[in-house]
């Protein structure tokens, strides 16, 4: 796979799209609020909330923002009620797209996503059209620079990881969801710098895109990442690194 990239590594190479566009706090506040609403405001007893708070702190969100988001979720403060929805679609070349959203207006979100995909050569699909192609996994991306593949593989397997993949400039570590935090700590404990990490929906197979289709697909993904209701978006395309604009 050397010289090729999937979206999990492309978005890191292109430079933390959420942070660059000022969206990350909005996305994290929604996640914290919903996590607190569903599982309560005690992070020790709410793994989803604990993960969201850790990500918020890693992105330098002020403690007061985190506290208010939790209080909105538990009802201690008034707030917007968000509904979680997963949308499925196809991009150019038949690439599968899975979109996780939080919205206060499902009809608006459906209409906007349909228009966005159509504009870039894709389309919305029915429920379960592509979801079966993805598996929930932990995904950790580390730079190849200064990282020995054999040593890294040994670290992740001992910590409960599943696989180590070569994605050009980076290594992609795949873990079962329950082993994600343990593997992440094991990697960081060896002073290996993380490019990115998340609980993700990992494709079981990939569609290779080139030329115009590759550029259209990147346009779709960036537009989706920039949409206010999108929390996370996953896709099963693979493109050559030369297709990625600097």
Assessment of whether the complete model's pTM goes beyond 0.85: no
pLDDT at 35: 95
Residues 6+ apart with CB under 8 A from 158: 186
Contact call for residues 141 and 197 (beta carbons, < 8 A): yes
Architecture per CATH, domain 83-132+205-239, reads as 2-Layer Sandwich (3.30)
pLDDT at 1: 36
pLDDT at 20: 54
pLDDT at 45: 94
Q: Which residues of the chain have pLDDT under 70?
A: 1-5, 9, 11-22, 241-246
Same fold across 83-132+205-239 and 133-203:
yes
pLDDT at 63: 95
DSSP letter for each residue of 176-194? -GGGHHHHHHHHHHTTPPE
Identify how many contiguous H helices and E strands the chain contains and give both numbers. 9, 11
Structure-block tokens of residue 90: 């196809």
Residue 174 DSSP class: E
Q: Which long-range contacts (CB under 8 A, 24 or more apart) does 107-114 make?
A: 109/85, 109/229, 112/227, 112/229, 113/87, 113/89, 113/224, 113/227, 113/229
Contact call for residues 240 and 13 (beta carbons, < 8 A): no
Domain boundaries, the chain: 24-74, 83-132+205-239, 133-203
Q: Region of 60 please: left (phi>0), alpha (psi -120 to 50) or beta.
A: left
Domain 133-203 = CATH 3.40.718.10:
no
- Residue-level length of the chain: 246
Tell me the pLDDT tens digit for each residue of 204-217. Answer: 999 999 999 999 99
Contact call for residues 159 and 179 (beta carbons, < 8 A): yes
Q: Which CATH superfamily hosts domain 24-74? A: Integrase, N-terminal zinc-binding domain (1.10.10.200)
pLDDT at 144: 87
Contact call for residues 46 and 34 (beta carbons, < 8 A): no
CB burial class (10 A; 0-12, 13-18, 19+) of residue 44? exposed
């Amino acid at each position: 796979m050397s010289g090729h990239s999937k979206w999990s590594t492309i978005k890191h190479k292109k430079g933390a799209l959420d942070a660059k566009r000022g969206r990350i706090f909005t996305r994290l506040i929604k996640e914290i609020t919903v996590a607190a609403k569903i599982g309560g405001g005690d992070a020790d007893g709410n793994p989803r909330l604990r993960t969201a708070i850790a990500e918020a702190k890693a992105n330098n969100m002020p403690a007061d923002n985190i506290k208010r988001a939790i209080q909105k979720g538990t009802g201690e403060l008034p707030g917007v009620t968000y509904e979680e929805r997963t949308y499925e679609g196809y991009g150019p070349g038949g690439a599968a797209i899975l979109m996780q959203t939080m919205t206060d207006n499902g009809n608006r979100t459906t209409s906007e996503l349909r228009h966005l995909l159509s504009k870039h050569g894709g389309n919305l699909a029915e429920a379960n059209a592509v979801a079966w192609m993805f598996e929930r996994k932990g995904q950790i991306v580390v730079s190849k620079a200064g990282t020995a593949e054999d040593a890294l593989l040994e670290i992740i397997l001992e910590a409960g990881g599943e696989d180590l993949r070569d994605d050009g400039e980076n290594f992609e570590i795949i873990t079962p969801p329950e082993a994600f935090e343990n593997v992440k700590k094991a990697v960081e404990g060896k002073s290996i710098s993380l490019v990115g990490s998340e609980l993700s929906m990992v494709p079981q197979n990939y569609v290779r895109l080139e030329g115009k289709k590759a550029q259209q697909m990147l346009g779709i993904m960036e537009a989706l990442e920039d949409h206010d209701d999108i929390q996370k978006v996953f896709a099963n395309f693979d493109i050559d690194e030369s297709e990625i604009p600097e």
